[in-house]
Structure 1
Amino acid sequence: MRFSSAAGREEGHGAPLRRRPGQLVITGFIGAIAVGTMLLLLPISTAGQSATFMEALFTATSAVCVTGLIVTDTPVFWSGFGQAVILVLIQIGGLGVMTVASLLGVLVMRRLDLSSRLVAAASTRAVSLGDVRRLLVRVVVLALAVEAVVALVLTVRFAVAYDESFGQALWQGVFHAVSAYNNAGFALFSLSLIDFVADPWVCVPICVATIVGGLGLPVILEVLRERHRPRRWSVHTKITLLMTALLLVGGTGFFLLAEWDNPATLGTLDTGGRILASFTQSAQARTAGFNSVNTGEMHTETWLGTVILMFIGGGSGGTAGGIKVTTFAVLAVVIWSELRGDPDAAVFDRRISVATQRQALTLALLSVAIVVLPTLWITALSPFTVDQILFEVTSAFSTTGLSTGITAQLAWYHQIVLVALMFIGRLGPITLGTALALRAHRRLYRLPESAPIIG
């Protein structure tokens, strides 16, 4: 992909790309899903009976969109070849998301006028057009570095503590490291991480990889570059780190309080085990999808809290899904400013632009509609309760992968809806945010102001 900085060529060769960035991204991901589906349909991909088209399509979509929802038992149904295909699809999907988000950020920067470009660069520390190749290298290097470290820790742990052969321990370590960093949630254990609920040497590295992958490349690079000067961090980085910390701590406390006495989840663990399990659930709900306790046995109010965490998601430009913590933070700041009567919505001594506020509101409300409408439709046509359906739909849209255990029991046409939601949830926020930014234009006049009564 080549960008030109010349004004004339920007309107020529660059124009088609600028007009159709979403189309190019969608085509690429559809192609990856199609290839993955065909590979998973091969007899060599399964350990027994060949996969149906729906099983292959659902699994390929879940892998490429780094979701983790499954309709088959991954370690039992898929052969070593099939698991390798899933692993490659996860890596392609995760790296693709980070690359796409970063390159579309460059595209947006290029579209803005000079004054807006300077403001955006100061706010986000965005890369310039000349940094595209370096950016792609950084995406790959960061992913491989984090995955290698986590894979090493997991390999040693599986080999030493669980008597796995070196080859099996290495495969499990690599698979779960890649799945964790890319926030995919696929596991080579039928019960996910339940058998390791009190083992910090398994749960903590996976959670760390999940958190790092979910922060987003711009945040990670800026923190590394300005690690000794945090005051110089951009507003985007500060919001992402603050919201991530608050949601991790708040989510851990929520799971502790909600499930403390539940014998099917935390009730049988000691205090340390309960804290670790709650932290794991808090980290995985945004939006990796591993679970160290039985999600289907959680209290209904815990499901609702998890739905909220899944819907918010992780950082922009990362492998996590959801509406993103920055979107949630902007809306929270707008509400707080309105309650206080402040004329401007400001955070960290910076005023949030009206355009950013409108984009955040648009993304959030459209996301609510995308979750609510399928929930109503599936609930009306299935024997499951609305809280179960809401959980599955939100998990698919937010590309989390947590499940109450009903995904495989849904009718094929309901599973098609979940496939669509995974795809929309993976690419929707990125492409929609880019489209909103690219559609911004100046009007030479303003209409007379009106003030409808609110409330």
Structure 2
Amino acid sequence: MTAESRPSRPRRSVRSRLYDLWDALRDLTTASPARFAVGIFVLLIMIFTGLYSLPIASADGRVTPFADALFTAVSTICVTGLSTVNMYSHWSPIGHVFTYLGVNVGALGVLTLASILGLVISKRLGLRAKLIAAGDSNPLRAHGGPVNEGQTVRLGEVGQLLATVALSTLIIEACLTVLLYPALLAAGIDPLAALWEAPYYAAMSFTNTGFVPNADGLTPFADDYFLLTVLMAGVFLGSIGFPVIFTLARHKWHVRYWSLHTKLTLITTVVLFFAGAAAFLILEVNNPKTFGSMDAWDTTFQSFFLSAMTRSGGFSTVPMDDLHGSSLVVGSMLMFVGGGSASTAGGIKVTTLAVLALAVFSEAKGRQSVEAFGRRIPSDVQRVALSVVAWGATIVALSTITIAQITQAPIERVLFDVISAFATVGLSTGLTAELPDPAIYVMALTMFMGRVGTVTLAAAVAATSRSQLYSLPVERPIVG
């Protein structure tokens, strides 16, 4: 049969091809929610890397080197706050707008953002899309295992949760802006400049990012306790997590209706806040470079501010490199824990620490189960908590070893900045700005893995979940 006599295939219309692409995207949202969510974050990082590479994004009109553009994009989307360039002087007003938009997009959370995009693609919030969103408030759902619907947010409430995410972000940042604007005016900031700096500070505090819109950072406001208190409030609201905000908005102060997740998050957050402040107060009270030259009130307040910021906020009124080594260790421990689940904070999360602490306490008491507030915490939650800590510690250790080998910098500085990257805090001893390109890529990867979450990352990498229909004989190795 010749080419002339062969029947020609009917050409498909552009609309038909678009429909096929749309169906493929819809199938992707339901096939693997975790991998789709990670893919969304990767796509956003690529987009913002391109935006930061544009000449109009830099103050001098030149193309920003790829390593710096990529690192800034990762730090922005992952709401970290670390930077390899001077965030104030390097970027143009357009570049600062990119940063402002990026942190608000990243603050939605990797799984919550994927849920919203999945909703747009599928035109409705189906079961799979609800599983994606619910996974952000309950990491166990990322594993696809059995989940008690009494935990955190039920699937039927996910639509309300997404509305809470959007509304709380807008309302909280708006309220913070209203409070910050007169404080900036009182500090001598130009009224027009304050119109930009107030919402910028509000976004950076609620998203727990820590970027600043001026050359000197918070140093000019070190004695402005009202402004610093507003920033601490923004960091706290962002770090407790959207499921907690959802619970508080629904049940107000009726504590008996709060979920176990809400109770553990708030109690652990408050305990770490006061414990961290006490530690910094004791360790830095005689340090002339930090709190040694302050009176009792200033030292106490700055200790609480530093405790709040090392949890995830990223703002600082004193250089981290001036802290004693013991304080850097305390700060590293607080950063590693981080904030609440499904929040703008990073780290292993406070509920993970609470569950492990309860498990240790129950084991010491010889109890058969782990209990809190009249509820039993199942063993699968304990295993996930242990896995999160193990994966987090592994990522931090490997990144610290790699960057220390590349830079030959003091290990305490490397460890502090690596944990800050993993926990998406943004505090730095000054090491990050001095990193060579290979170390920049390692640090960027650390930020990404810390933000998407160790549980989500593990679920995304896992190809399939196989059910085992048999059990092996039991044998108990000696532990401890």
Residue identity opposite 1:226 in structure 2: H
Q: Which residue of 1 aligns with 2:44?
A: 32
Corresponding residue of 1:88: 101
User: Structure 1 residues 28 and 101 mapped into 2: Cα distance closer, same or farther (>3 Å)?
Assistant: closer
Q: Distance in 2 between matches of 1:111 and 1:401?
A: 29
Tell me, in whole angstroms, the C-alpha distance in 1 between the residues paired with 2:446 and 2:144: 31
Offset of 1:434 from its aligned partner?
5.9
User: 28-37 vs 103-112, which deviates more?
Assistant: 103-112
Structure 2 Cα separation of the partners of residues 231 and 420 of structure 1: 41
Q: Tell me, yes or no, if structure 1 residue 281 matches structure 2 residue 309.
A: no
* Cα distance, 1:274–1:347 mapped onto 2, change above 3 Å: same
Using the TM superposition, give the Cα deviation of residue 105 of structure 1 relative to its aligned residue in structure 2, in angstroms. Answer: 4.8
Instruction: Summarize deviations over 1:375-407 as a string: whole Å, max 9, x none.
Output: 112212323111110011111111111000111
SS at the partner of 2:149? helix
1:224-256 deviation per Cα after TM superposition (whole angstroms, max 9, x unaligned): 221242012111111000000001111111111
Q: Which amino acid aligns with 1:370?
A: I
Worse-superposed segment, 425-434 or 358-367: 425-434
Instruction: Give the distance between the partners of 1:287 and 1:317, measured in 2 at CA.
Output: 13
Provide the residue aligned with 1:361 in structure 2: 386
Report the alpha carbon displacement of residue 358 of structure 1 after superposing the two structures with TM.
0.8
Distance verdict in 2 for CA 1:97–1:195, change over 3 Å:
farther
1:327 to 315, 331, 352: 352
The 3 A distance-change label for structure 1 pair 94 and 333 is: same
Q: How does 1:356-435 map to 2 (within 5 A)?
A: 356-429=381-454, 431-432=456-457
| Equivalent in the alignment of 2:319 | 294
Instruction: Give 1:61 shift.
Output: 0.9
Moved more, 185-194 or 70-79: 185-194
Question: Match of 2:91?
Answer: 78
- Answering whether residue 178 of structure 2 is matched by residue 152 of structure 1, we say yes
**Preserved CA contact (<8 Å) 1:264 1:297:** yes
Counterpart amino acid of 2:134? V
Query: How far did 1:100 drift?
Result: 4.3
Counterpart residue identity of residue 250, structure 2 = R
- Residue in structure 2 matched with residue 56 of structure 1 by the alignment: 69
**Which residue does the alignment assign to 2:374?**
349
Q: Give the superposed CA RMSD.
A: 2.5
Residues 103-159 of structure 1 show CA distances to partners (whole Å, capped at 9, x for unaligned) of: 53536669968xx55xx222324341xx44433222111001111111111111111
In structure 1, the residue matched to 2:121 is none
For 2:363, the equivalent position in structure 1 comes to: 338
1:247 maps to 2:272:
yes
Q: How far apart are the structure 2 equivalents of 1:454 and 1:406? A: 39
Give the drift of 1:169: 0.7
Deviation by residue 1:138-186 (Cα, 9 ceiling, x = unmatched): 2111001111111111111111x22222220111111010011011111
1:194-209, aligned counterparts within 5 Å?
Answer: 194-209=219-234
Q: Matches of 2:85 and 2:40 in 1, distance apart?
A: 26
Q: Distance in 2 between matches of 1:389 and 1:91?
A: 28
Q: Distance in 1 between matches of 2:209 and 2:175?
A: 18
Larger displacement relative to structure 2 (214-223 or 341-350): 341-350
Of 136, 157, 161 in structure 1, the residue corresponding to residue 162 of structure 2 is: 136
Using a 3 Å threshold, how does the CA distance of structure 1 residues 97 and 17 change in structure 2: closer, same or farther? closer
Q: Offset of 1:197 from its aligned partner?
A: 2.0
Distance 1:211 1:67, change over 3 A: same
Indicate which of 134, 146, 149 corresponds to 1:121: 149
Cα deviation for residue 449 of structure 1 reads 1.5
Structure possessing the higher radius of gyration over alpha carbons: 2
Q: Call closer, same or farther: CA 1:85–1:430 in 2, change over 3 Å.
A: farther
SS in 1 for 2:289: coil
Shift of 1:430: 5.2
Kindly provide the amino acid, as one letter, of the partner of residue 379 in structure 1.
A
Work out the CA distance in 2 between the residues paired with 1:369 and 1:344: 28
- For each residue in 1:328-348, what CA deviation from the matched residue of structure 2 results, as whole angstroms up to 9, or x when unmatched? 111111112112221112222
Counterpart residue number, 1:6: none
CA distance in 2, matches of 1:52, 1:14: 36
Q: What's 1:9 paired with?
A: none
Distance 1:196 1:35, change over 3 A: same
Correspondences of 1:169-318 after superposition (within 5 Å):
169-318=194-343
Could you tell me which residue of structure 1 aligns to residue 13 of structure 2?
A: none
Residues 223 and 230, structure 1, Cα contact 8 Å, conserved in 2 = no
Q: Is the 8 A contact 1:65 1:423 kept in 2?
A: yes
Aligned residue in 1 for 2:32? 20
Say if 1:216 and 1:317, in contact at 8 Å, map to a contact too. Answer: yes
CA contact (8 A) 2:161 2:243 kept: no
Task: Answer with 370-379 or 436-445: which moved more.
Answer: 436-445
What secondary structure sits across from 2:312 in the alignment? coil
> How far does residue 410 in structure 1 lie from its aligned partner after superposition?
1.3
The one-letter code of the counterpart of 1:23 is R
Which letter does structure 2 place at the counterpart of 1:172? E
- The sequence identity of aligned pairs, in percent, is 35
TM-score by length of 1: 0.90
CA contact (8 A) 1:392 1:407 kept: yes
Q: TM-score by structure 2 length?
A: 0.85
- Structure 2 counterpart SS, 1:76: coil
Cα 1:155–1:256, aligned 2, differ >3 Å: closer, same or farther? same
What SS class does the counterpart of residue 381 from structure 1 fall into?
A: helix
Residue range with higher mean Cα deviation, 215-224 or 416-425: 215-224
SS of equivalent residue, structure 1 residue 387: helix
